[in-house]
């Protein structure tokens, strides 16, 4: 199973392709630090606009790096919160458009749960566990 993951909860636009829940085939991140650094923090409006400019490029790079085509994707996972609403909407709408066009299932992912459960990409641990 091939999963395309999209992350746009704040100021980075990211896409990754995961095979069979374990093997990371690609992980592409577009960093917005240069856009926000002169303001001393993240400007939500600028973050959302940058996601609009970058989301399809980042998806294309992730697919190319994984050597797969969009039609090969079995499931799309996208961050649905928490995060900046404008940034989240860009990722969610990009994902919904792809899924609608290709009749591919879509799963919403909680950003914080994604951080907590990312450990399972590297090793199996027993519940309950503590995370920082």
Give residues with Cβ within 8 angstroms of 5, minimum separation 6: 14, 15, 16, 17, 18, 76, 77, 78, 109
Tell me what pLDDT residue 10 has.
97
Write the DSSP symbol of residue 75: E
Q: Which architecture, in CATH terms, is 2-121?
A: 2-Layer Sandwich (3.30)
Sequence spans of domains, the chain: 2-121
Tell me what pLDDT residue 122 has.
82
Tell me what pLDDT residue 131 has.
83
CA-to-CA distance for 61 and 96, rounded, in angstroms?
19
10-residue averages of pLDDT along the chain (132 residues): 98 97 95 95 97 98 99 98 98 98 98 88 86 82
Q: What predicted TM-score, i.e. pTM, was given to this entire model? A: 0.92
């Amino acid at each position: 199973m091939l999963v395309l993951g999209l992350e746009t909860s704040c100021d980075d636009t990211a896409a990754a392709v995961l095979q069979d829940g374990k093997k990371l085939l690609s992980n592409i991140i577009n960093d917005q630090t240069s856009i926000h650094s002169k303001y001393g923090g993240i400007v939500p409006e600028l973050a959302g606009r940058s996601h609009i400019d970058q989301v399809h490029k980042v998806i294309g790079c992730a697919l190319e790096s994984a050597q797969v085509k969009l039609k090969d994707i079995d499931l799309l996972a996208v961050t649905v919160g928490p995060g900046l609403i404008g940034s989240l909407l860009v990722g969610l709408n990009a994902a919904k458009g792809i899924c609608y066009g290709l009749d591919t299932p879509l799963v919403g992912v909680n950003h914080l749960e994604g951080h907590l459960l990312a450990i399972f990409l590297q090793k199996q641990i027993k519940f309950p566990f503590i995370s920082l």
